[in-house]
Amino acid sequence: MHRIRIIVAASALMLALSACTTAAADDPVQTTPPAAAGASATSEPPECAEAAADLVAYEPGSSYETVWSSTTEDPADLEPEVLAHPATIIVDTYTMTIVDSIDRDEDGVAYATGPPPCPVPVDPSWPVDSALVLDAYTFEILATLPSLNTPEDEDVATTTSLMSDALATGTLLDGAAAAPYTSLVADDLGADLGLEFVAAIRVTDTVVGGAYESPSGVGFTFRANRGADITPGQPVGSPTTPLAVPGAEGRTYSGPEWGLTAEAWGADRSCVVAVLAYPVTTEIPAWPAGYGEYLSTTVLPRLLATC
């Protein structure tokens, strides 16, 4: 069984389907670094260290808050060692992915760079089940944290458990009421994975949710929240990454694998939709290649079209 840690908000699809508020939440610790405001403190980037053929994949979705990726009110408060390494990456050695790439401008402000400046070779000597803060150019280990993706003794959210909870308080939709949600998967990767529509449920007067599942255990839930001037809230403990959605705003968080949430809303904020990646049961399958991108760039726009 493919092991992965899925962080579950309180229980039930009710909370998963209602993760929107009417007031915007601030991000006081700047867990999601902004775009660059000034010139990089790495004014003359050094040459990249030699990279082997076995490289670490870049799959952003960091939930690690460290001094290396944060901005203080006064840059003078930053330790000399932090200022000496303005460009850093975080490698999760459990998933063997680069989950964050940060640089710091000349004013001490940390910002996300997108893909790291250098290809990063896998190092067999790295500690397992860890999150390593590395210098982005030399790959020197600057800090070692526990991975957030290792298994723990906690409840695992599944499409089965979430749908069961939703049905306990919601109303099953059928016929014309369910029809808009039955074609979120077409003749594409979802069909290749065997994903099929399970059900759509009216959870509250303004929220509809549902799920797709496959025989292999791959699945996802979805939600559509309709109202007036809805403002998506800030996910607790999970930085967000902007997502390009045609004709709308979007973001992802809690990824990059199981637990990934892709969310979008139109300009008038009268409808906020989301797709959430969950396994069907606690027998968690391997994460399919391209699944996160498929949910974010194919399924999510189809769900938004139901608004």
Structural domain includes residue 228: yes
Domain boundary among 146, 177, 200: 146
Give the pLDDT confidence score for residue 151 in this predicted structure: 58
Q: Which residues of 275-295 are buried (b: 16+ CB within 10 A; e: fewer)?
A: bbbbbbeeebbebbeebbebb
> Residue 249 sits in which domain range?
12-26+156-305
Structural domain includes residue 41: no
| Burial (Cβ within 10 Å: 0-12, 13-18, ≥19) of residue 243 | middle
Based on the domain organization, do 104 and 162 belong to the same domain?
no
Structural domain includes residue 7: no
- Which of 235, 188, 192, 221 is CA-nearest to residue 303? 221
Domain boundary among 93, 113, 146: 146
Give the pLDDT confidence score for residue 284 in this predicted structure: 87
Based on the domain organization, do 163 and 298 belong to the same domain?
yes
Based on the domain organization, do 118 and 83 belong to the same domain?
yes
Domain boundary among 127, 146, 165: 146
Based on the domain organization, do 136 and 169 belong to the same domain?
no
Q: Which two tokens stand for residue 55?
A: 């490289």
Structural domain includes residue 45: no
Based on the domain organization, do 181 and 242 belong to the same domain?
yes
Based on the domain organization, do 138 and 160 belong to the same domain?
no
d(CA 288, CA 275): 16
Structural domain includes residue 169: yes
Give the pLDDT confidence score for residue 19 in this predicted structure: 41
Based on the domain organization, do 74 and 135 belong to the same domain?
yes
Based on the domain organization, do 287 and 168 belong to the same domain?
yes
Give the pLDDT confidence score for residue 277 in this predicted structure: 95
Give the pLDDT confidence score for residue 76 in this predicted structure: 75
Tens-binned pLDDT, residue by residue, of the chain (307 aa): 333 333 333 333 433 443 443 333 333 233 344 444 445 556 566 778 666 667 888 888 756 777 887 777 777 778 888 888 999 999 988 888 898 899 988 888 888 888 898 999 888 888 877 889 999 999 999 988 877 776 553 456 889 988 988 888 889 999 999 999 999 999 999 999 999 999 999 998 899 999 999 999 999 999 999 988 787 776 755 678 999 999 999 999 887 888 899 999 988 889 999 999 999 998 889 999 999 999 999 999 999 999 9
Based on the domain organization, do 187 and 278 belong to the same domain?
yes
Provide the H-helix boundaries in 71-188.
Answer: 80-84, 159-169, 175-178
Based on the domain organization, do 68 and 199 belong to the same domain?
no
Structural domain includes residue 271: yes
Total count of domains within the chain? 2
Give the pLDDT confidence score for residue 145 in this predicted structure: 80
Structural domain includes residue 94: yes
Based on the domain organization, do 122 and 174 belong to the same domain?
no
DSSP string spanning 259-275? T-EEEEE-TT-SEEEEE
Give 76's DSSP letter.
G
* 0.85 exceeded by pTM: no
Structural domain includes residue 216: yes
Based on the domain organization, do 131 and 168 belong to the same domain?
no
Q: Which two tokens stand for residue 296?
A: 């974010």
Bridge pairing between strands 97-104 and 57-58: parallel
